[in-house]
Amino acid sequence: MKDSVAAPSPADFVRAIAPITPATFFAEYFEKKHLVVRRQDPAYYADLLTVADIDRVLTQTMVGGDEMQLVKLGKALEADDFVMPSGFIDPVRVVRHFDEGSTMVLPGLQKRVPALAAYCRALETVFSCDLQTNIYFTPDNAQGFKTHYDSHDVIVLQVHGSKTWNIYESPLKLPLRSQAFKPEGFEAGALIDTFTLHAGDMAYVPRGVVHDARATEEISLHITTGLLAPRWIDLLVEAVSELALEDPAFRHSVPPGYANEGFERAEARTVFQNLLTRAMAGIDPDRTLDGFAHEYRRRRVPVVPGQLFQLFESEAIEPGTPVQRRPDLIYAIKVDGDEVALSVYGAEIVFPAHVEEALREALLLPAFVVGDLKADLDEAGQAVMMRRLVREGVFAIAG
């Protein structure tokens, strides 16, 4: 069985970090140190989110109480202060608390703002991970959260106003999620950098880097995207667990009495070391990586504007019909015997094996005209293939 995974299409990521290139970002900054990009272009991210978008969401879309936090100086307001008995926020009270210095925190706003959704999906193609997107809308001279670190990397886009950030020496490098920040007794290390993000600027802060941020003398609106990436330890644990399903040596009990004082550990140490050696010989890295990749693709929700009308029109696809690939697909192609399967959106779309070359070619093109593929599939066959791919939300009729 062959397996081919699509190359990412990171246009929005490239724009987000420009003029830093992705190659420089991953070589010099990712999981290593914070990055600040200043642009002197207040409208740079205006197509992603605006203050008017925040007003529209707050006042016209019935936001649930679980879709918002109000935070002031590190303390979250009680839900009763701004959530109605119906379970929806009261926008009048929310705005009043904002005026009194509370920061609005809106997690998952990409579910309501299409441009933000497109940005997040573009980042998914680059990082192959789930995203945790929070929108922070802060009054002038106010601070939402106190000094802390996150257990996930964050990319910050300043879309309106400005905010001053402080970066401190960090006590913990690349914390796991189980090592999340705990404020009790925490003291920040020495201050190592201070910078102000203005509209159009961006920052990257690796997990574990201690920081805080405060709005300046103007209202601040920024997008924080958290990268919930799997860690190597996650794959190692999964790999050993998979091996234990096949090899009973890993399923034996730890020797009885191992917790007692005076227990002789010599034999236990030998068994432990032998199991590590056995694991190194028995683990198939590709199988574990394939499993994580499959699970990520499986839970990725399709975002397919206009799909209902595409369905209506799909039967009319014929040679000469212009089509375009849906943006930011994450997919894999597998060939098994006389079938080729496209794995995308948590489903497998199966074709006869002779379609493979045309399928691969089509998925590498942003747009083309049915019948123009160079692969060995005639015009009628290309039309049949594209009708299926349009109905499945992988392509759309252009125009």
Same domain, 154 and 267: no
Cβ within 8 Å of residue 28, ≥6 positions away: none
Query: Mind listing the pLDDT tens digit for each residue in 68-96?
Result: 999 998 899 999 999 999 999 999 999 99
What tokens appear for 72 in the block? 């002031």
3-state helix, strand, coil in the chain (%, to 5): 35, 25, 40
Tell me the pTM. 0.90
**Do 224 and 264 reside in the same domain of the chain?**
no
Rounded CA separation 112/36 (Å): 28
- Predicted confidence band of residue 398 (pLDDT cuts 50, 70, 90): very high
Answer whether 123's CB lies under 8 Å from 330's CB. no
Measured distance between the N- and C-terminal CA atoms of the chain, rounded to whole angstroms: 37
Confidence label for 132 from pLDDT (cuts 50, 70 and 90): confident
Q: Is there a domain that residue 357 lies in?
A: yes
- The answer, yes or no, to whether residue 148 has pLDDT greater than 60, is yes
Residues 129, 207, single domain; the answer is: yes
**Is pLDDT above 60 for 11?**
no
Residue 80: C-alpha distances to residues 85, 88, 139, 251 (Å): 9, 11, 21, 50
Q: How far is CA 223 from the centre of its chain?
A: 13
Residue pLDDT, tens place only, 18-27: 999 999 999 9
Report the percent of the chain where pLDDT is more than 90: 89
Under 8 Å between Cβ of 223 and 156: yes
| pLDDT for position 357 | 97
Residue 81 sits in a domain whose CATH number is: 2.60.120.650
* 4-11 mean pLDDT: 40
**Is residue 166 within 8 Å of 191, Cβ to Cβ?**
yes
pLDDT at 183: 87
Query: Cα separation of 20 and 33, whole Å?
Result: 14
Residue 282 lies in a domain: yes
Contact between 201 and 39 under an 8 Å Cβ cutoff? The reply is yes
Residue 363 and residue 332 in one domain? yes
Share of the chain above pLDDT 70, in %: 97
Residues 184 and 37 in one domain: yes
Rounded distance, CA 80 to CA 90, Å?
10
pLDDT value at 8 more than 50? no
Residues 111 and 187 in one domain: yes
Number of domains in the chain: 3
In a domain, 286, yes or no: yes
Of 244, 262, 296, the residue at which a domain comes to its end is: 296
Q: Using only C-alpha atoms, what is the Rg of the chain?
A: 26
CB contact at 8 A, 367 and 398: yes
Q: Predicted confidence band at 46 (pLDDT cuts at 50, 70, 90)?
A: very high
Residue 248 belongs to what domain range? 232-296
The answer to whether residue 366 sits within a structural domain is: yes
The answer to the question of residue 192 being in a domain is yes
Last residue of a domain, one of 196, 228, 260: 228
Going 13 to 14 to 16 to 20, the CA torsion angle's sign is positive
Is 157 inside any structural domain? yes
Give the pLDDT confidence score for residue 349 in this predicted structure: 97
Which has the minimum average pLDDT: 145-149, 190-194, 311-315? 145-149
Give the amino acid at 341. Answer: A
The reply to whether 43 and 162 lie within a common domain is: yes
Neighbours of 154 (CB within 10 A): 21
At what angle are helices 379-391 and 356-364 packed, to 10 degrees? Answer: 60
Are the beta carbons of 206 and 227 closer than 8 angstroms? no
Q: In this predicted structure, what is the pLDDT of residue 1?
A: 39
Picking from 270, 296, 322, the residue at the C-terminal end of a domain is: 296
CATH number at residue 381: 3.90.930.40
Please state, in angstroms and rounded to a whole number, the distance separating the CA atoms of residues 230 and 272. Answer: 26
Q: Are 82 and 187 within one domain? A: yes
Distance CA 45, CA 31 (A): 24
Cα separation, 120 vs 133, whole angstroms: 8
> Is there a contact between 282 and 247 (Cβ–Cβ < 8 Å)?
yes
pLDDT in tens, 281-324: 999 999 999 999 999 999 998 999 999 999 999 999 999 999 99
Q: Are residues 152 and 237 in the same domain?
A: no
The mean predicted confidence, pLDDT, of the chain is 94
- Together in a domain, 200 and 264: no
Give all strands of the β-sheet with 69-72 in edge-to-edge order.
Answer: 35-37, 202-205, 153-160, 220-228, 130-138, 103-107, 69-72, 75-76
Task: Tell how far CA 59 is from the center of its chain.
Answer: 28
